[in-house]
Amino acid sequence: MSIPQERRVVTAIPGPKSQELLARKQAAVPPGIGTTLPVFVTRAGGGVVQDADGNSLIDFGSGIAVTNVGNAAPKVVERVQKQVADFTHTCFMVTPYESYVRVCEKLNELTPGDHEKRTFLVNSGAEAVENAVKIARHATGRPAVVVFDHGYHGRTLLTMTLTAKNMPYKHRFGPFAPEVYRVPLAYPYRWPTGPENCAEEAAAEAIDLITKQIGPDNVAAVVIEPIAGEGGFIVPARGFLPRIAEFCRANGIVFVADEVQTGFARTGDLFACEDEGVVPDIITTAKGIAGGLPLAAVTGRAEIMDRVHVGGLGGTYGGNPLACEAALGVLETIEEEDLVAKARRIGEIMLPRLKALQERFGVIGDVRGRGAMIAIELVEPGTKEPNPTAVQEVVKRCHAEGLLVLTAGTYGNVLRFLPPLVIPEHLLEEGLGILEKAIAEL
């Protein structure tokens, strides 16, 4: 890795150059575009991001689960550099090119299920989810879409409607899309009768709501994240996903797995659905797919995807050639560096240390996640009362020490950890040390 894999804090964070740039940002960009940490990045790679003031921060965010293979990953850079000099855009619907087809062939091969599949490419996770719903409605002739508490699916009108949390995602942006219904998620830590009953009871409640209040024959699709991302890294109780998938199969409902955040080795499987052997009818992917180039994909059963009339799917930039080359570089990197195993290793390091921390500090109510998608939920000690104030305090301390961490959760009380899968273990350990110190000092 060409960038020194070290934490180096040489100024206040943010430093003077970043502060100057922040003032310019505030004069040019609306505040609706928030900023987690106002350090202006100049280089990044491996497990670090470098800023304009010469600081090198440990990256536990990966640009929100995007740079799984590392920022500026060598195979991504090599492929994109060659492609950009050949051609930058033709619009695949006008004159196609082989790299787009190759990406789709690989996704058809690698996503869960050995049935015949089709894939097409778009630009963002939200666009992928929008298209999955379009295709499900077209194929079934049904209007309704079922989503879950704590779900997140994007910021377009439909995906905002599918998303659960009001602030900041939905507030004052209505009216929302029709025919979207929400049912309970199997949230073990907060399930009323305890985690051991969660899968069966939550599935029964969800299925009962669909059956009694919507009508299975009116439902085109169920859309669910195998691990809820923005909603707080909620790993549904084991057995919940298979029960929901089975109900969908029995009722002709398209089961859409939204793997925008969980995909591409992040959770210790190439796709998170593999963990319980769930085979989705459609899977949406983005983020980790192209190492930072804007790309997303809709991969589904051929008999569903092929129902759409010619010209019914599209968009100008979908499957941009640079992004397709990047995606091929990502897939090569995941395979050659065995990043699925590396993600599992990250979980094996993080989970025990966080569980040991939970033993010492009552502010940690729950430790959860899989692979390199890990989180702690902070509460008022001795209760399950969400503690967003503690999260903000820990974040402030981590950032000041040069550790980039992100938050999540419906209640704003989750610290989530999404290190690049290529992060050197010494940086992972160092980052955990900073986190432990920040929590101990609360």
Ligand X SMILES: Cc1ncc(COP(=O)(O)O)c(CNCCCC(=O)O)c1O
Q: What is the dihedral of CA 185, 190, 193, 199, to 10 degrees?
A: 30
Q: Are 183 and 206 in contact (CB under 8 A)?
A: yes
Report the site for ligand X in 377-406 (rule: CB under 6 A).
Answer: none
- Least Cα distance to 150 among 412, 427, 390, 428 occurs for 412
3-state secondary structure of 213: helix
Q: Are 418 and 428 in contact (CB under 8 A)?
A: no
Residue 264 binds to ligand X (criterion: CB under 6 A): no
User: Does residue 294 have a cis bond before it (omega within 30 degrees)?
Assistant: no
Name the minimum Å distance from CB 227 to ligand X. Answer: 9
- Least Cα distance to 323 among 365, 364, 287 occurs for 287
Nearer to ligand X, 364 or 408 (CB): 408
Return contacts of 28-35, CB within 8 angstroms, 24+ apart: 34/168
Name the minimum Å distance from CB 157 to ligand X. Answer: 13
Stretch that binds ligand X, among 12-20, 125-133, 180-188, 244-252 (CB under 6 A): 125-133
Residue 124 binds to ligand X (criterion: CB under 6 A): yes
Q: Are 432 and 350 in contact (CB under 8 A)?
A: yes
Query: Residue 156 and residue 173: Cα distance in Å, rounded?
Result: 10
* Residue selected from 260, 326, 418, 422 as contacting ligand X according to rule CB under 6 A: 260
- Joined together, the tokens standing for residue 340 give 């699925």
Stretch that binds ligand X, among 89-97, 122-130, 374-382, 423-431 (CB under 6 A): 122-130
Q: Which residue is nearest to ligand X (CB)?
A: 125
Name the minimum Å distance from CB 173 to ligand X. Answer: 13
Stretch 56-95: interaction string toward ligand X, x if CB under 6 A: --------x-------------------------------
* Residue selected from 51, 53, 149, 258 as contacting ligand X according to rule CB under 6 A: 258
Report the site for ligand X in 207-246 (rule: CB under 6 A).
Answer: 225, 229-230
Count of residues engaged in binding ligand X, rule: CB under 6 A: 16
Residue 157 binds to ligand X (criterion: CB under 6 A): no
Stretch that binds ligand X, among 91-99, 152-160, 349-357, 423-431 (CB under 6 A): 152-160
Residue 126 binds to ligand X (criterion: CB under 6 A): yes
Query: Residue 390 and residue 399: Cα distance in Å, rounded?
Result: 14
Q: Are 329 and 75 in contact (CB under 8 A)?
A: yes
- Joined together, the tokens standing for residue 207 give 């299925």
> Who contacts 87 (Cβ-Cβ below 8 Å, separation ≥6)?
97, 321
Query: Residue 297 and residue 6: Cα distance in Å, rounded?
Result: 34
Name the minimum Å distance from CB 10 to ligand X. Answer: 30
Name the minimum Å distance from CB 258 to ligand X. Answer: 5
Name the minimum Å distance from CB 260 to ligand X. Answer: 4
Footprint of ligand X (CB under 6 A): 64, 124-126, 129, 152-155, 225, 229-230, 258, 260-261, 286
